[in-house]
Each structure stands twice: as C-alpha cells, then as structure tokens.
C-alpha cells in the first residue's frame, strides 16, 4: 500500500482538501452550503452548469426534510468528480468507484471542515449539525464520525 491514492485514510484527507478548495472558490463563509447554486453556477473552468429543475423526483430522496439537499450534494460530488477540474484534482482515483467514498465527499462539501471548526464543541452533535447545515441527522452523524476519526 505504498500508493497514497489507494489508502482510504489518505484519500479521505485529500478529498477533504479538495472540498475545502471548493468552499474557498465559491467564497462560502457560512452554512447552509448552496449546493444547488454550485451546480448551476460553477466558477470559470470548473465544470458545465447543471439545470437542477430537470432532476426527476425519483432522483431526490425525501425521507427527511433535508434529504433533497443531500441528493443534490451527491450529484454535485459526482459532477465535480467527472469534470475536467475534478480529474485534475485526481478525484476519480481517490474515490475509485466506491459509492461510500463518493457519499463521504458529498458530506465534506455540504458540511465543510472549516465551517465545522467554527462550531462550538457542544454544537458538534447530529441534531445541531443537521439544523446548522440543513442536512439529515444521520448524514450529520456520519460526517461527525468521519471528521473526528
């Protein structure tokens, strides 16, 4: 396992850096992260815009009031990965076709490291994070475990 692109820990660290670069490129200072706008109005040279209004209802999960935002975040993560910009960042190799790695990347985008660091320790729990980032609590819990681990 000398190749850092196949080490899951190194891959997650690198994906975190890429997610932070996206947040900086879009000048996001506070939640909620505007994943729909990021898809529709990418920065120059990043990727082609996506018409979110053309998404079908079967694409969007509605198990929680914030589930559609997570669906869009996963779409954004997939779109970033397949874009020329994402390929320059080596995202396809980092994710390696692993759906859970793609989901982790989507969580990193919608609940970015820098904004999580700005939260008080007491607020770093699934309920508060769910409300703060407008994501389902189970996704906030996943992100919190990944972020702390």
What ranges do the domains of the chain cover?
Answer: 4-148
Q: What is the pLDDT of residues 74-128, one digit of tens each?
A: 999 999 999 999 999 999 999 999 999 999 999 999 999 999 999 999 999 999 9
Q: What is the pLDDT of residue 53?
A: 65
> How many whole angstroms separate alpha carbon 16 and alpha carbon 56?
29
Band (pLDDT 50/70/90 cuts) for residue 57 is low
Cis peptide before 142 (omega within 30 of 0): no
């Amino acid at each position: 396992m000398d190749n850092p692109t196949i080490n899951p820990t190194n891959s997650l660290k690198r994906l975190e850096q890429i997610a932070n670069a996206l947040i900086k490129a879009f000048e996001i200072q506070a939640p909620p992260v505007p994943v729909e706008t990021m898809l529709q109005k990418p920065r120059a040279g990043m990727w082609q815009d996506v018409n979110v209004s053309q998404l079908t209802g079967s694409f969007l999960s509605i198990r929680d009031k914030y589930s559609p935002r997570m669906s869009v975040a996963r779409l954004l993560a997939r779109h970033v990965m397949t874009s020329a910009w994402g390929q320059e960042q080596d995202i396809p190799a980092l994710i390696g076709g692993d759906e859970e790695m793609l989901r982790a990347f989507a969580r990193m985008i919608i609940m970015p490291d820098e904004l999580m660091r700005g939260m008080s320790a007491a607020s770093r729990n699934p309920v508060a994070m769910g409300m703060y980032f407008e994501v389902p609590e189970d996704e906030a819990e996943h992100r919190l475990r990944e972020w702390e681990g």
